[in-house]
């Protein structure tokens, strides 16, 4: 099994002398007081290791997220990023999470960086100004990045599986289908469907290691709401199936370290596509053969703020928190 490049399970946790971190935390701000931002705030306040809430930023003064933040003693503003810069705590903010939209993040990053050039931005939108970051795959490679992109919920759930296959065999093609409850898809998700598919497809290649990637998202209106389900297909060169299955199982266990509700729904499935009966994959090749690997996943949310069926949102906030914890650890170690 080949190691993951510049990251992976051996680099999820940075190890520094314990006295470096004793009682030391960095202040963070969250832009976006909707479902994702509020869930992230609660995660940080309950489980922050090197992070503590500094401010919650929104544009709707009546939002539940701002109201909750106020009740929990967090500084708030409903005047967007401009309002954030007017808060006294802004001077102490080291890391900012952006849970708005792709277009808004481009503007937010430019504005905030004009005032604080070295501010760290964790982007939960599909804007992808900075490098794609999947904590369990390439997290260690971006500890010093000023802006990292968390891809998408579908990317966080499925790209680790593509990477699990690609560290064993050359992956010619990777396709993912993310099925989420329509109730868990807020206005930001719905407004960025095209960006979702484009960003996820690119990250399947850049982070997952596939030569060609494709992403599909399904908003399921079923009642009661269904839990997030993901399907991953990889076409690779022929290798030992047991080796791929072991790599997938190990990767699933690694993701579970920060997303406990992440699990395989069944054993990994394999189909051999012989050269005598090749298949046509548009954009890849007309005569493709090799080993088809099928992985079926389920992501249950921790229900910190969002319902348990909203695993798509939970995996984004969990991955973002894990990434910021690594950044904070690196900053604190250099202090």
State the catalytic residues. 153
Residue 27: count other Cβ atoms within 10 Å of its Cβ: 19
Residue 86 structure tokens: 């007017």
Provide the strand spans (E) within 154-250: 171-181, 213-220, 228-236
Pairing mode, strands 262-264 and 290-299: antiparallel
Q: Largest Cα–Cα distance of the chain, in whole Å? A: 69
Backbone angles phi, psi at 296, to 5 degrees: -120, 125
DSSP 63: -
Return the bridge partners of 262, or none. 299
Query: What length does the chain have?
Result: 335
Backbone angles phi, psi at 222, to 5 degrees: -60, 145
Contacting residues for 279 by C-beta, under 8 A, at least 6 apart: 273, 288, 289
């Amino acid at each position: 099994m080949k190691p993951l490049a510049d990251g992976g399970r051996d680099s999820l946790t940075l190890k520094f002398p314990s006295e470096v971190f004793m009682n030391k935390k960095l202040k963070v701000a969250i832009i976006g007081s909707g479902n994702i931002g509020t869930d992230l705030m609660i995660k940080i306040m309950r489980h922050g290791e090197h992070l503590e809430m500094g401010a919650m930023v929104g544009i709707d003064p009546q939002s539940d997220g701002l109201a909750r933040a106020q009740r929990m003693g967090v500084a708030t503003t409903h005047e967007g990023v401009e309002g954030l810069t007017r808060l006294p705590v802004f001077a102490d903010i080291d890391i900012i999470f952006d849970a708005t939209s792709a277009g808004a993040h481009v503007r937010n990053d430019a504005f905030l960086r004009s005032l604080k050039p070295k501010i760290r931005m964790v982007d939960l939108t599909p804007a992808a100004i900075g490098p794609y970051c999947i904590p369990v795959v390439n997290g260690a490679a971006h500890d010093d990045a000023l802006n990292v992109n968390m891809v998408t919920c579908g990317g966080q759930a499925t790209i680790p599986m593509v990477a699990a296959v690609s560290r064993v065999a050359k992956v010619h093609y990777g396709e993912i289908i993310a099925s989420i409850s329509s109730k868990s898809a807020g206005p930001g998700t719905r407004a960025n469907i095209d960006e979702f598919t484009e960003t996820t497809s690119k990250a399947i290649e850049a982070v997952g290691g596939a030569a060609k990637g494709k992403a599909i998202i399904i908003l399921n209106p079923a009642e009661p709401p269904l839990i997030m389900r993901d399907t991953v297909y990889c076409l690779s060169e022929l290798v030992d199936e047991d080796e791929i299955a072991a790599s997938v199982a190990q990767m699933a266990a690694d993701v579970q370290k920060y997303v406990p509700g992440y699990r395989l729904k069944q054993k990994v499935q394999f189909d051999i596509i012989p050269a005598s009966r090749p298949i046509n994959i548009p954009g890849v090749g007309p005569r493709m053969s090799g080993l088809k690997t099928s992985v079926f996943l389920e992501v249950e949310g921790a229900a910190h703020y969002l319902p348990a069926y909203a695993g798509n949102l939970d995996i984004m906030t969990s991955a973002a928190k894990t990434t910021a914890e690594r950044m904070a650890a690196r900053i604190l170690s250099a202090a």
